[in-house]
Amino acid sequence: MMRKFACMLALVAYVGVPAVCMAQFNLKTLKSATKAVQAVTLTDAQMAEYVKEYIDWMDKHNPVCDESSPYTKRLETLTSSLDQVEGIKLNFKVYHVTDINAFACADGSIRVFSSLMDIMSDEELLGIIGHEIGHIAHKDSKNAFRTSLLTSALKDGISSQGGKAAALTDSQIGTLGEALVNSTYSQKQEKGADDYGYDFLKSKGKNPWAMALSFQKLKQIQEEAGAKKNNKLNQLFSTHPDLDVRIQRMTERAEKECIAKP
């Protein structure tokens, strides 16, 4: 979901955006708290509770652009027809942060970082969003959340009372956030998300060239930044299939369908 990315760059502000100080994406953890350890079988209802709790926490602890922000208006224009996927209602917000990132949650919440918007054209941004929607549609985001919850947030133990999921501590939510940002999908899942994103954008009247263009921009960013060890920039799609392969696949599809490149 498009997700496992966190990167930082010195950026040229998006034209028309006020010069407001941006914060760094907040994934900091608080002092760890321990709960009684119990075996937990997560039901879909409990999963929905945890997803909501997670995204609510993220929205509260990161600067969300308001309705008057040029970032918000731009994203609303781009996604006006992207209302739902596979029966899941999509909702979009912009975090005004220095990191270059975007992530999606199983409930259809997609969060785009302002610094990613700064360096991408509308078409490139749509490609990133289309890919994230593909992960939601294929339940990759849901499964990744479940795995991260069980392996990270539950390390302190989470109990279930009367079928209701126990509330997460701030520490556990922070740990969960780090696990989600750094989690990986298989190459098969990434390929599937690319193909779904292509078809989804096309079905919504968007130019599916967006997929190839977004990958081309990511490759350009990586090349300009250099392959520095532990460079957060290289976490952006660093675990995805080779960008050259993805660019070629999406380009060949668009050319075969005689779709004009924007």
Report the pLDDT value the prediction gives residue 227, as an integer from 0 to 100. Answer: 52
Q: Mean pLDDT lowest for which of 7-11, 114-118, 130-134? A: 7-11
E strands, 4-69, in order: none
Q: Would the pLDDT of 65 be above 80?
A: yes
Domain map (residue ranges) of the chain: 44-256
CA distance 236 to 247: 16
Helix, strand, coil shares, percent, the chain, to 5? 50, 10, 40
CA distance 255 to 260: 8
Q: Is 132 a catalytic residue?
A: yes
Q: Would the pLDDT of 36 be above 50?
A: no
For residue 154, name the pLDDT band (cuts at 50, 70, 90).
low
What mean pLDDT is reported for the chain? Answer: 76
pTM exceeds cut of 0.95: no
Of residues 245 and 152, more confidently modeled? 245
Classify each residue of 108-140 as buried b or exposed e, where b means 16 or more C-beta atoms within 10 Å of its C-beta.
Answer: bbbbbbbbbbbbbebbbbbbbbbbbbbbbbbeb
Helices (H) and strands (E) in the chain, counts: 9, 7
Q: Which amino acid, one-letter code, is at 131?
A: H
CA distance 154 to 39: 10
Across the range 193-220, mean pLDDT stands at 95
- Residue of 159, 139, 184 lying closest to 42 (CA atoms): 159
CA distance 71 to 16: 9
The H-or-E segment that residue 102 falls in is: strand 102-104
- Write the CB contacts of 48 (distance below 8 Å, at least 6 apart in sequence): 107
Strand-pairing partners, residue 164, are 161
For residue 136, name the pLDDT band (cuts at 50, 70, 90).
very high
For residue 49, name the pLDDT band (cuts at 50, 70, 90).
confident
Residue 22 gets the label, from left (phi > 0), alpha (psi -120 to 50) or beta, of beta
Catalytic entry in 86, 123, 124, 132: 132
Residues constituting the chain: 262
Across the range 43-50, mean pLDDT stands at 81
